[in-house]
Amino acid sequence: MSTRPYEYNLPETAICPGCETMVVLPVIPPEDGSLPICGTCGSEVPDPRIAVVAAAAEAEAEAQMPIEDRKYSRGSLLSALRDTVADKGIAALSKRIPPNIGG
């Protein structure tokens, strides 16, 4: 039993740019990138989830690429090095025993 008595699962919606009515988007964003059509005026309704799905697919494809074939920029390499050095510095400081001031 749910602890929240009024929990709703509403579908994703968007506003039609042609007639400004609310359009219910499909549950699964189309993989081919086609936009939904408004039932009132017939214009295409922008679906912001399509860009998110495309970016996730691109990131997954990059993650599956062998390390030897990946292309890095100097900025990304330096930021990764900075993060690694910072993590090691924090770990070293947390292991450090404070000096005994009382003698």
Q: Return the bridge partners of 14, or none.
A: 23
Both tokens of 39, joined, read 């039932």
For residue 32, is it within any domain? yes
For residue 83, is it within any domain? yes
| Residue 80 confidence (pLDDT) | 81
Task: Please say whether the beta carbons of 13 and 24 come within 8 A.
Answer: yes
% of the chain surpassing 70 pLDDT: 88
Residues 46-60: pLDDT tens digits? 888 888 888 888 888
Residues 27-41: pLDDT tens digits? 888 878 788 899 899
Statement: the pTM of the whole predicted model exceeds 0.75: no
| Residue 15 confidence (pLDDT) | 92
For residue 2, is it within any domain? no
The answer on pLDDT for 2 being more than 60 is no
For residue 3, is it within any domain? no
What's the domain count of the chain? Answer: 1
For residue 80, is it within any domain? yes
For residue 6, is it within any domain? no
For residue 8, is it within any domain? no
For residue 101, is it within any domain? no
> What is the residue type of 49?
R
Instruction: Tell which residue, 16, 24, 22, has the closest CA to residue 42.
Output: 16
The kind and range of the H/E element at 14 are: strand 13-15
Instruction: Tell which residue, 35, 37, 31, has the closest CA to residue 53.
Output: 31
